[in-house]
Amino acid sequence: MTWKDEIELWDYQFPRLRGWWRRLEAAQPDGLPDSLGLWNGQTHWLERKVGKPAKSALRPKQIEFGLECMRRGVSYHVCFGYKGEVLFFTTFVFDTPVTPRFWVAT
């Protein structure tokens, strides 16, 4: 499986996400993640990217939003569609992917 853009990645992800999820297309505020999910009594933020996992794939405001979530204990993941895999990360160190409980691995 390969994805040409984040919309294709979303179409692949959506049926594999537990809970209630919505794709966001907001120009403001800058840095707002691509998706919002409600699952297991929590709010989850998900930023999607297509390509090799790297901090350089994120804009500064996206990093700022993620760091605020991390500081406040809010669920935040960056997800990369790369080489046919969906890789989730909870930090901006992209060396060890995680499998969130809201993800239905296939």
pLDDT (0 to 100) of residue 29: 82
- R_g of the chain computed on alpha carbons: 13
Question: For the segment 12-44, what is each residue's pLDDT rounded down to a tens digit?
Answer: 999 999 999 999 977 668 899 999 999 999 999
Q: What is the value of pTM for the model shown?
A: 0.93
Report d(CA 81, CA 52) in Å as an integer: 8
Domain boundaries 6-89, CATH class: alpha beta
Give the start-to-end residue ranges of the domains of the chain. Answer: 6-89
